[in-house]
Amino acid sequence: MPKLTTATSSGTLRPIRSHALNAMQPLHKARPQCHDAGLVIPEIHLSADLVLLACDLLDARLAVKDGDVQNIPAAQRKQMAERLEKLIKEHESIWLKCNRIGGLSDSSAAMAELLEMLESK
């Protein structure tokens, strides 16, 4: 996991969270007309949810000694792991609808690695 820099702060994350939430707001009205219209909205939701999880993880790392994931309280890590596990399943479902299975493990590898870190003691 990359080391945190002194320029990283919870305040830095506020506009990022806002953009992710704003991206999802109008989606219930969207009526995509492209050939893969059924995947567009789920992909945007997934992307925004991953951004929000990343912000929460960074906030949690900023709040603990050395920014180490293992120093995040167990209950908080468990909650993030549950969210990530759900997002991995969504990613895999979307992936299989528009890609071959061959690249799925590569595509999910970083998320699986993070999930392992969150679940370890």
Whether the pLDDT of residue 78 is over 70: the answer is: yes
Burial class (CB in 10 A: 0-12, 13-18, 19+), 25: exposed
pLDDT of residue 94: 93
Total-model pTM: 0.87
Whether the pLDDT of residue 2 is over 80: the answer is: no
pLDDT of residue 35: 84
3-state helix, strand, coil in the chain (%, to 5): 80, 0, 20
Mean pLDDT within 5-13:
69
pLDDT of residue 5: 61
Whether the pLDDT of residue 6 is over 90: the answer is: no
More confident residue, 59 or 1: 59
pLDDT of residue 32: 86
- 37-41, 87-91, 115-119, range with the lowest pLDDT: 37-41
More confident residue, 11 or 72: 72
Burial class (CB in 10 A: 0-12, 13-18, 19+), 22: exposed
